[in-house]
Amino acid sequence: MPKVSIVKGPRQPDAVAILGMVRRAVDLVGGMADIEEGCTVALKPNIVTGRLSGRGVTTDPRVIKALIRLALEAGAGEVLVVEGSGYGAPTAEAFELSGIREAAERGGAEVVDVDADDLVAVDVPDPLILSRVSVSRRFYEADVRVNVPVMKTHDQMLMTLGMKNMKGVIPKPQKRLFHRVGLAKAIVDLNKAVPVDLTVVDAIHAMEGLGPSFGDAVEMDIVMAGTDVYSLDVVGARVMGFSPDEIEYLKLAAEQGLVSLDGSGIEVVGEPIDAAARSFKRPPMDLAPQEGVIIIEKGACSACRGTIRSVFYDLEQMGLLGEIRGLVIVVGPQAEPPEGLGRRPLIMGTCLRHLEKAGRYVLGCPPNNDKMIEAIKELSS
Ligand code: SF4
């Protein structure tokens, strides 16, 4: 029976307390048992964008440092910290800004940028949508793989935890493919192709509301761990106050017999779910901020979705939001302006370059806020 541990620490734990929390959470699910003398351990944090932890966006460097220490204590000969950030955030920069590079190197690990690493094509067993995925070679070939997500809401998937965090082991062009073919199915396929030995959730500062990048930090002071990522996500959903059957990729995993959504067959150890749970504010799933704005979106990455939200936030701060009427934004690699629209749409992003003559085109992957605001002002004048 898969075990999932929940460990609650003191308020605002320091590095020593975090090491104790991580150690206990991991020990409760069997420890770093698979680590043999001299083997390679790869850790996969969440550094979707270059922000320092504390706001619930990126994995706390102290959690990474604790896991490096546990891996070395267990006999690892090499520890890697592997990540490929999201669009609009070069991975090398995200490693710096998040503080993960410093934590990794001080702890005795090497950082690996997925976007600069060799790739390996891995077959997906019993695929839902992708028969093969391209994955960072150094992550895939590590003897022990450890997934280290942050607990966050997600404006497309409702929640991002263990399964969704694995998207960081694929390079950026493949991330775009995931959005094009259907993110939930692609996430399940990726997890089947690249199983991890252990998942350790950083919920010291989690995120609610407009996740995965623009939500509000929630101090939870919790670390969770599990050897089965599907079970961990089922328990994690309940800790966040969601029903697992609301999460599309978990439903698909259950349909494939990978997990039970009602939690049967999962042993929760440490803190009970009810004692740890909190009702996380849900993310708004609709991108349009008000009437008079239509967003035609199909397969858009989180980066462009986040840009749209932050552009409207900027416009609101500038006192211009109320002046926008009849704006249509087309975004995402599969989106198309409908025929007979009767107005010039804003066509957004590099993946829609083939439509650049169909409206006011804004280049970028994602486009920057200033260029978007310039185009919106032009279309609204
Ligand atoms: S431009 Fe297209 S590929 Fe680039 S982030 Fe936006 S939706 Fe994704």
Distance separating alpha carbons of residues 88 and 190, to the nearest angstrom: 22
Q: Could you tell me if the CB of 162 is within 6 A of ligand 1?
A: no
DSSP string, 222-237: EEEEES-HHHHHHHHH
Pull the structure tokens for residue 101.
Answer: 């590079």
Q: What percent of the chain has pLDDT over 90?
A: 79
Cα 35 to Cα 74: distance, rounded to the nearest angstrom? 6
How far CA 330 is from CA of 61, 333, 344, in Å, comes to: 37, 10, 11
> Which atom of ligand 1 sits closest to the CA of residue 349?
1
Domain boundaries, the chain: 3-276, 293-380
Task: Give tens-digit pLDDT for 3-29.
Answer: 999 999 999 999 999 999 999 999 999
How far is ligand 1, taken at its centre, from the CA of residue 222, in Å? Answer: 34
pLDDT digits (tens, 9 = 90+) for 285-304: 788 888 889 999 998 988 89
In this structure, CATH architecture of domain 3-276: 3-Layer(aba) Sandwich (3.40)
Backbone angles phi, psi at 45, to 5 degrees: -80, -175
Distance between CA atoms of 196 and 14, rounded to whole angstroms? 28
Residues 55 and 63: their CA atoms lie apart, in Å, by 15
pLDDT number for residue 108:
97
Q: How far apart are CA 306 and CA 312, in angstroms?
A: 10
Confidence band, pLDDT 50/70/90 cuts, at residue 86: confident
- SS3 percent helix, strand, coil of the chain, rounded to 5, is 40, 25, 40
Q: What atom of ligand 1 comes closest to residue 179's alpha carbon?
A: 8
Q: Is the CB of 372 under 6 A from ligand 1?
A: no
Residues 6+ apart with CB under 8 A from 195: 145, 229
What's the pLDDT score for residue 5? 98
pLDDT band, very low/low/confident/very high, at 88 (cuts 50, 70, 90):
low
The pair of structure tokens assigned to 175 is 């991330």
The per-residue pLDDT of the chain, averaged, comes to 94
Assign 346 a pLDDT band (cuts: 50, 70, 90).
very high
Residue-level pLDDT at 218: 96
Q: pTM of the full predicted structure?
A: 0.88
Per-residue pLDDT tens over the stretch 210-262: 888 888 999 999 999 999 999 999 999 999 999 999 999 999 999 999 999 99
